[in-house]
Chains A and B, each alone.
Chain A
Amino acid sequence: MKAASFAYGRPNSMSDALALLADADGEIRIMAGGQSLGPMLNLRLVQPPRIVDIAGLAELRSVERDGEALVIGACVTHADIEDGRIPDVTQGVLPRIARGIAYRAVRNRGTIGGSLGHADPAADWVTTLAALGASVQLTSSAGRRDLAVTEFIQGALQTALRPGELVTAIRLPSLSPAARFGYAKACRKPGEFAHAMAAVLIEPDTARSRIVIGAIDTTPIVIDDSSLFGGAITEFRQSFDRDLADRLLMQAGVTDPAARHIHVSVLARAIAEAAP
């Protein structure tokens, strides 16, 4: 239960960090708050030869407005969001989700960027930010690119991050006051990894909905049309097509009927919350 040896670097600036990542000749792990990587190191599930600690980088511990959107530095913690130390453009959605992540002692160090970079399918941010239409800012010494969260997450613990790249920020569009959001997850105990998770965003003014089913062993299921409601976005609660949700889960590899039942029930709860 002690980590194996590794070399450790704690760059003083973003440019130093990117240079370190660019020069890495071999395996290198990026660590922010270390609340996912730390346990894996202790269990020796990962034994990286070197770790770059980005948690102290001031550039990543900040937020800025970009028009209507909010750009959240990768090293902003769940507790920062929970406590409202950053502005909220989501009508309270973000603080609420943050409050439900793991435990306070973990939220004080765990970061939003680290959570996305780790890409655990059961992570609250993976599902929530996909539903909210957020994008990820990836920076390397060669430049910067932005990817939608749904493109960034490529599977269980798999992301589109290339060698030398760093998740530097999350760009979050503001949520219209008319938008409705529902969220539910199933955990055996509060703070435990979720066995099922769903986020539902309904935007009545634009007649759009986005539904994300997370905590499956692959990329989240994203349903951008209203097929789950028989093609119309009225009467969500009544017309929710449980069979279709069940089939989608089956296609995504959830073969256990009991697991699918939990997923569909959790989704129904999220829909019930969001339904007008």
Chain B
Amino acid sequence: MRKEVVACFPQWGNYSHAFKFLLERGFNVKYLTPPPITRQTLALGSKYSPDYVCAPFKYCLGCYIEALAQGANCLLQIFGACRLNYYGELAEQILRDLGYDFQFMNMAGIQWLSPKSIMENFKIVNPDVSLVKVAAALPTTLKMIEYIDIVEDYLRRNVGFEVNDGDFDRLYQQFSRDLDTVESRKQLKKIFKSYWQRFRQIPLNKPAKTFKVGMVGDYYTVQEPFSNYFMEKELAKMGMEVYRDMNLTNSIVHNKWRERHKVGKKYAKYNIGATATFTVAEALQFAKQGFDGIIQVKSFGCTPEIDAMPILQNVANDYNIPILHFSFDSQTSEAGVKTRLEAFYDMVAARHQGGKR
């Protein structure tokens, strides 16, 4: 008898509900929700990965190892425009050298124009996969991603101003629990509608003038809260509204690449690779909308984001907006991040009082 397939995709924001739906309803295999990232995950990942590879690879590898220990036997990895393209193969090689037994679906190896290649690769996950089923599950998955992003956007803006501490967190946990039970698109819509209403009803104590901060940065670091040391929460606690455009909705579901490229054209004439074009355009939009500050988070050595840094500095000079660069590796201390954020907040507040804007 064939072994039961337990698939797993590395921890990435709160999107595991969507991946779970796609794999369970579409591919018809069991999905293991990856264990939440802890210090242990990062330590495991950095132990086995090369020295100066970017931090997301370390998180992914650590996550794989933990998932394999919990019984996963089929791992997935996506592809991208930067080093992400090579994550899959290297992670697979490292895990095989460690002696694990598993299946690996590396989407970087799929030729998306050839149905044969797609089928061959999908069969790694489930030999009896039905493309019809996968295609049927896809719209609901994308819709779920969209809903998650809508809720998270609202959360980021308002969580700092809640009257009763922990209202949003509690409701969000319920929301994620219910997302795991979704079976059809209709049900998904119903769940979203009811929760959306409840999110909107949470009492807020918002002053007339709030500080608005825009977050930009590389694909993983900006989206996965652990890898940026829960910066969004930290900023919200100080009473700031946090805005972020980079999420799965804006990059995969509705790709706004052309639009963004046009926006940033004054500063970056050409495509500068991976998410850097996004970063520049977003920062520019934040600056134009009169935000009080921009924070760039990236993993150490992320080439496209480093290339975007001089451009961001020019944007900051032209629009007179403070910008803070964070570069995360496996050893950045939490206290250091907090201190810098506090100093940033103080500066933003002082600028506002001084009436320099």
Q: Do chains A and B stick together as partners?
A: no
Footprint of B on A, CB under 8 Å? none
